[in-house]
Structure 1
C-alpha cells in the first residue's frame, strides 16, 4: 500500500460554538489548531473561516487571510481551502477567498444536495449566539447548490486559471458519475483525489456497505486514475476512516466532521483526532505521508506558487 494521507478539517461550517467550547473560531484559534494538527501528522489542512466575533461561518477573504499566511509560515502542510463554504452562501461568495489565495488545493462538492443540520438543534439547550439556533433549524428547507454550471466555474477559475488541484467531495454515488462526466469533458485531468463523504443527512449513510459500494463504483468509473479518502460524520468518523485505511485509501478527521474523540467525550483540539487515527493506521502497517509526499502524490503546484 502507498503512504497514507491524513487530512484534517479544522473548523468547517456545520458545527456551531454552542456545541463545543473547543471549536476554533478566531484566527488565533484556527492557526493554533491547524499547526497542532500538522505537527501531529496531518499532511493536508482543510480550512474554512469564521467570523471571530460570533463564530458564524464566513466567506470573507479578510477572515481567511487573517490565518492562512500564519499557518503557511508555521508549517509545510498543504492548505486546502473550501469552495463549499456554507450552504447559505452564493457561489460568488464561496469563491472569493480561494480566488484571492490561489491555493495548491481546494475542496469541490460534486453536486447539489439537501444539507440537513436541524436534528443537531434538538441536543442544545444553552446557546452562545442568537444566530445558531435558526441557522440549524432552518436547514430543513436548505439545499446546497452546486449545479454542473457551478462546478464548471470552480474548475475553470481555480483549476485551469490558478492551478489548484481538488479534493472532490462525493456525498453519494451520483456525485461519482458527475466527476466522470467532467473528466470526459476535459475539465478534470487524471489522476483524481476523491473524498467519499458519509453520514451527512441528505447524503449517503455512514454504513460500511456504502463505503464498499462507493469504492466499487469508483473503481469502475476511474480505474487506476484515482485515489480515495474517507470522511464520516460524528460517531462514524473513526470506524469508517479506519476501514478506508484497511482498504488502501486515505483518511480525513477534524472538528468539522466530528466534535468527539471518544463516545461522550469532546475532542479538545484537532490534533487529538489526528494523533488517534495516526496510531490506528500505523498499527495497520501504513506509513503516514509527509506534506512533500502529498504534493508528489497529488501533483500539486507547490506552496511557493500560491498567493498566501
Structure 2
C-alpha cells in the first residue's frame, strides 16, 4: 500500500484584510510578527506566508524596510520556509507589490492568478469603535475593490523574479484562475512542478463548499496532471473544515490569522500558533504526518534557506 504523502502546513501570519480592531491577537509590529511566526513554526508550520504592516498603526505595507525588521529574526530562530506575499496591497501596482520579494529573494512568493472583485466590506458592520482612524474606511471601501492581476502583471512579476529562483504559491480564487495559470505555463512563464493554493470563501471568489474543492481539484488534475502540488485555504469559519478535508484528500493546507481570526465558531484565536497546533492535532489524529521544513523543500523543489537575501 502506497504511503500517504506528508502534509505541509503553511501559516499566513497577518495578511492585508483584517485590522487591529478585529482581534488583539493580529500582529502588526515587527516584534509581534517575528514572535508569532517563530511560535507558528514551532507548532508545526513548515511555511510562513508573510506580509508587513506599519508598526505605528497596523496599516498595510509593502515597504521593504518593514520586512527587514522581522525577516532576519525569523530566519535566525527557525528553519521554516519564508513565503513573501506579492499581493501585499489591493491598491498598488505590481511593480510596488514585488519590491519585498526582489529585495529579499525568499524561497517562495505568492502569485495571484487573476483580477477579481475582492471585498470584505461586510465586516465593517460588526464594529462601532475602531482602534485607528484608517480602519473603518479601509474596510468599507473594499466594496469597490478590484484586485488587479492582469496577464501583463503576472508576466512582469514572473520575469522580474525569475533570476531569484523563487517557487510561486499560485493563488487561485476561482476556476478561471486555473486556466490563467495553464496559459501562463504554456507560454513558458512557469515551469512544472507548480504549487497551487486553492482559495475559498473570499467575497468575489468561489465559495467555501467541499463540492467546489472537488471541482477545483478535478480541474487542476485535468489541466496539470502530475505536474502540480496543491494546498487549500478556507477563509473565515471555513478554515479548519476545508483544511482537514484537504489533508484527507492528500493535499496540503494553510491556516493563520490572515485567513481567519477564529479558533472555533464564535471564538477568536489567541495566536497563529494556536491555529497551527489545532490543525496539526486534527491532521495527525486522522492518520497523516506533518512535513518538516526540509521535507517541504524537497516536496516543492525549493532552492534552500541558504540562498535567500536576509
Which TM class, normalised by the smaller chain length? Answer: over 0.9
The whole-number CA distance in structure 1 between the counterparts of 2:127 and 2:163 is 44
How far apart are the structure 1 equivalents of 2:56 and 2:128? 21
Within 1, Cα distance between the matches of 2:128 and 2:111? 34
The corresponding residue for 1:112 is 115
Match of 2:69 in 1: 66
Does residue 76 (structure 1) correspond to residue 79 (structure 2)? The answer is yes
CA shift at 1:301, angstroms? Answer: 0.6
Runs of 4+ in structure 1 deviating by more than 3 angstroms, as ranges, are: none
**The one of 273, 285, 305 aligned to 1:271:** 273
Aligned-partner Cα distance in 1 for 2:189–2:147: 22
Q: Give the TM-score, by structure 1 length.
A: 0.99
Equivalent residue, structure 2, for 1:20: 23
Question: Which whole-Å deviations, capped at 9, do the CAs of 1:34-87 have from their partners, x for residues lacking one?
Answer: 000000000000000000000001010000010001100100000000000020
Matched residue, 2:182: 180
Q: What is the CA–CA distance in structure 2 between the aligned matches of 1:34 and 1:251, rounded to whole Å?
A: 17
Cα distance between partner residues in 2 of 1:286 and 1:185: 37
- 2:138 aligned residue: 135
Which of 52, 73, 85 aligns to 1:49? It is 52
Partner Cα separation in structure 2 for residue 90 and residue 55 of structure 1:
21
Q: How does 1:228-243 map onto structure 2 within 5 Å?
A: 228-243=230-245
Task: Note the C-alpha offset of 1:287.
Answer: 0.8
Residue aligning to 2:212: 210
Give the RMSD, CA atoms, in angstroms.
0.7
SS at match of 2:280: helix
User: For residue 296 of structure 2, what is the aligned residue in structure 1?
Assistant: 294
Deviations, residues 69-120 of structure 1 (Å, cap 9, x unaligned): 1100100000000000020222122111110001110001101000111001
Gaps of 5+ in 1: none
CA shift for structure 1 position 265: 1.0
Deviation of 1:280 after TM superposition, in Å, equals: 0.8
**Alpha-carbon distance between aligned partners in 2 of 1:222 and 1:155, rounded to the nearest angstrom:** 19
CA distance in 1, matches of 2:138, 2:94: 19
Q: 1:121 aligns with which of 103, 121, 124?
A: 124
SS at match of 2:237: helix
Rounded to whole Å, the distance in 2 between the matches of 1:90 and 1:128 is 28
TM-score using structure 2 length: 0.98
Q: CA deviation at 1:154?
A: 1.1
Distance, in Å, in 2 between the alignment partners of 1:306 and 1:279 is 31
Q: Distance in 1 between matches of 2:286 and 2:307?
A: 35
Correspondence 1:92 to 2:95:
yes
Query: How many residues were matched structurally?
Result: 307
Match of 1:3 in 2: 6
